Each structure stands twice: as structure tokens, then as C-alpha cells.
Amino acid sequence: VTAPGGGAGDGLADARTAAEALDGRDPLSSFRGRFEIPDPQRIYLDGNSLGRLSSDVRRAIERAADDWATRAVEGWTDWIELPARVGDRLARSVLGARAGEVLIADSTTVNLYKLAHAAADLRPGPLVTDADNFPTDRYVLEGVARQRGRRYVEAESLNAAIEAAAAGVLCLSHVDYRTGALRPMAELTASTSSTDGLLVWDLSHSAGAVEIDLAATGAQLAVGCSYKYLNAGPGAPAYLYVHRDLVGELRSPIQGWFGRREQFSMGSGYEPADGIERFLAGTPPIAGIMAVDAAIGIVEEAGLARIAEKGRALTALAIERADAWLTVHGVEVRTPRQPAVRGHHVALAHPSAWQLARALIERADVVPDFRPPDILRLGFAPLTTSFVEAWDALDRLRRLLEDGAYRQVAAGTRRVT
Ligand SMILES: *Cc1c(COP(=O)(O)O)cnc(C)c1O
């Protein structure tokens, strides 16, 4: 291990040694070995976009194939229970929700569509989100508003969003996908309720990363994906949450047979199932749900308190290095500095953020991502990212900024950034 030299002041070796020491006493360090990391030199800081494959999840997918091969259609006697059973496990271990409040189903996009429509049945007002929310959330709400002949509002601040959502439906991300800001769930839920709005939380960037307590915060509705910090795999099924007092009042806009009471009576007419299962639509993706089940198992073993704590420490290290090395090069830290109000990625704003992201990938063996217009996003997945990796990634970014090598990256666009 060599300390980088040149231009960044004294104490660098010490600082890296400090990162090594953090790894040395990291209670989660052994979890990295549970994941498949074919190229350990490459520093993967995109686990907030697609988490890595664990051997547990690989085995779960193989088991699903075995199950299918050996049991064929008989498998449905057990598979049919999986959306609610794995939902209960996610509720208990990750979301702080109660049994019967969570279902594994569909994608986050489709689940938001279902809950936004269902919520709009109960509230006559506009459909609202904040202008910075994740694109699919904005598009879905806009579409639901159009279908229902309602007003759609993209508010410029959280306060404006809550105000606009009086007697309407509001959707907010728990952790902002660009800045990494973590929103106070209890407080915002209470303010939305005080004007009779219904709030749908998007937990995509917080589930499996920070401690969530849907029950204690009084959250009414939520959706989220399982392939970011939960590491269930690309396109793994998402989840939805409905507070138990609300579920009987809500109807899915997709009247599929899996959401019907006594599905296999195949009777005429649609009547929703009693519980959360009314939000199922069609045949659930069994292999994917088995992957989610295994992925939750790893989070249970690691413990969300420890995961959250390590995430705060990794982002603290990154922010500290950014302050020490990068701000002189025009980089601005856009992520909140108080650990309690951020998720596990750090947003660094720079006019050449896109080039910096490409240069990190092509020349520095670091995988971040870019979010328009000017955000370089570094995601720190506590189960797979080490403190030394965080340190080295910031160090490599420092070098790119110092020698200007990122300017040689060919301008251009790629479909996936
Ligand atoms: C990743 C993410 C999604 C993903 O939605 P999909 O339907 O899985 O494509 C939705 N919302 C937020 C806030 C996200 O970060």
C-alpha cells in the first residue's frame, strides 16, 4: 500500500491508515466476502443504483430454477404465498411495518401507479410531488392526474409540496436520489395529514440502507425497489406498503385475478381480496421474489443499525476528503453534512461532472454515476464497500482534477449513465 504523493498536503498516509483502521474494526467487513466481486481492484460506487450479487441471492435464483424443474405447476401451492410472506419479512426486518402491510410485487413504477390511483379515490385534490423527485415518480403522478382530470403539481420545495397537497395525494422520496438528503418521515407525514393529504413515500434509496419505521412514523403508503441497497438483482420485484387501517378502503386500479377475493373461484365480477393482496395484479415473478427473500436475509444478519452506521461513516469519510481535496477544484458537496439526515450516497457538483464520471470509469477503475445536470454521485453500499475503497476513490478523483485528465474524455452521451 503506497500513500499518494504530490500536492495534497501532509498526513495523507496517516489518513489512509485511518481508513484501514476503520476497516479493521468494521463489524460488517466479512459481508463483502458474501458477494461476488470478480474484479476487486475496481471500486464499485454504484450499489445505490444496482447492488451487487451475493452468493445467497445466486443460490436463491438457482433454487427457484430447481423448484420449477422438479415441481412444475405443483410449485404454486407454495409460490402463491410468496408475495405476502416475503412482504411480511421485509416489513419486519427492513421497513418497520406490521404483518399484512407489505407486498412484494411488480416494479416501483407500477406500485406507485396503483397506490396513487387508490389514494386519489379517497382524496379529491391534486397529485403533487417535488420538482426534484425521481423521474418515474413525476411521470406517474402526472399521468394519474391526467387520467383523473386532476391538477398535477411539481413543487419547488417540500413546504410548497405539502401545502399544494391539501386534500390531495403527495409523493416524496425518503432519500433524494440526487442530493442524498434523508427526509424526516414522521414530521412530513404529520404535516401532510394535517391538511388531509395522503403521502406516498418512495423508499428506493433508503430501504436496506437506513433504519425505517413505517409504523412509528404513522406512514400511510409507500413503495420502493429491491435492487439498490437490498441487492436483489436487476429488475427484482418491488414492494408496496399500505397502513393496516387504510387497506380496506383502497382499491387497485388494476383489477387482476391475483387481487381478487377467492381468485380460484374464477367467478364473474371483481371484488378485491380483503388484505394487502388486493394490490396484486397478475402472476407474481417467483424467482425474483425468492431473490428478494435471500437478499433480506443478508440484511437481517448484518443488522440495519450497523448498516446505517457504516453508511454514515463511509459518507462522512467521503465528505471529509472532498472538503480537503476537491473543493479547491470547484467541487461542491451537495449532500447534507449532518449524518442523521443523509442516505448513503454523496453528491458532488461540478461543471464537468459527466466527464469526471467517465474519467473515473475509464481511467481510474472507479464506478460512480452521473445525474444531470452536474452531479457526480458516489454510492457507498455498507455491505460491500470498504473504507479504504472510499478513501482511494476520492483520492483518484483528486488526481483526475489535479492533472486535468478528465478533460480528454470524449464528449458524448450514452443511454445509461
Ligand atoms: C430507483 C428508483 C425507482 C425505480 O423505479 P423502477 O420502477 O424500478 O424503474 C423509483 N423511484 C426512485 C426514487 C428510485 O430511486
- Model confidence pLDDT, tens digit, residues 191-212: 999 999 999 999 999 999 999 9
User: CA-based angle 258:260:266, to the nearest 5?
Assistant: 90
Cross-strand bridge partners of residue 104: 239
User: CA-based angle 214:219:221, to the nearest 5?
Assistant: 105
As a dihedral over the C-alpha atoms of residue 216, residue 219, residue 224, residue 226, rounded to 10 degrees, the angle is 20
Phi, psi for residue 334 in degrees, rounded to 5: -100, 0
Which of 225, 344, 369, 416 gets mutated to test ligand 1 (max ligand atoms within 8 A of its CB)?
225
**C-beta of 206 in contact with ligand 1 (< 6 A):** no
Contacts of 300 (CB under 8 A, 6+ apart): 93
Sheet holding 369-371, edge to edge: 332-333, 345-349, 375-379, 369-371
Structure confidence at residue 4 (pLDDT): 45
* Ligand 1 atom nearest to CA at 49: 1
Structure confidence at residue 231 (pLDDT): 98
Reply yes or no on whether the pLDDT at 13 is more than 70. Answer: no
**C-beta of 177 in contact with ligand 1 (< 6 A):** yes
Residue nearest to atom 4 of ligand 1 (CA): 108
Which of 104, 109, 111, 227 gets mutated to test ligand 1 (max ligand atoms within 8 A of its CB)?
109
* Ligand 1 atom nearest to CA at 225: 8
**C-beta of 172 in contact with ligand 1 (< 6 A):** no
Listed range (262-271, 283-292, 322-331) with the worst mean pLDDT:
262-271
Structure confidence at residue 57 (pLDDT): 98
85: CA distance to ligand 1 center in Å? 23
Reply yes or no on whether the pLDDT at 415 is more than 60. Answer: no
Which residues are identified as catalytic? 134, 202, 227-228, 377
For residue 265, name the pLDDT band (cuts at 50, 70, 90): confident
Reply yes or no on whether the pLDDT at 286 is more than 50. Answer: yes
Q: How far is CA 72 from CA 66, 75, 116, in A?
A: 10, 6, 36
Q: Are 301 and 382 in contact (CB under 8 A)?
A: no
Dihedral sign (CA 206, 209, 210, 211): positive
Segment 40-65 shows an average pLDDT of 97
**C-beta of 138 in contact with ligand 1 (< 6 A):** no
Structure confidence at residue 2 (pLDDT): 40
**C-beta of 205 in contact with ligand 1 (< 6 A):** yes
Segment 75-96 shows an average pLDDT of 98
**C-beta of 173 in contact with ligand 1 (< 6 A):** yes
Structure confidence at residue 6 (pLDDT): 43
Residue nearest to atom 14 of ligand 1 (CA): 204
Q: What is the mean pLDDT of the chain?
A: 95
**C-beta of 108 in contact with ligand 1 (< 6 A):** yes
**C-beta of 111 in contact with ligand 1 (< 6 A):** no
Structure confidence at residue 258 (pLDDT): 97
- Determine the residue type at 301: E
129: CA distance to ligand 1 center in Å? 15
pLDDT digits (tens, 9 = 90+) for 351-375: 999 999 999 999 999 999 999 999 9
For residue 5, name the pLDDT band (cuts at 50, 70, 90): very low
* Ligand 1 atom nearest to CA at 133: 13
Which residue reads 469519510 in cell numbers?
317
pLDDT digits (tens, 9 = 90+) for 374-395: 999 999 999 999 999 999 999 9
Contacts of 10 (CB under 8 A, 6+ apart): none
Reply yes or no on whether the pLDDT at 14 is more than 90. Answer: no
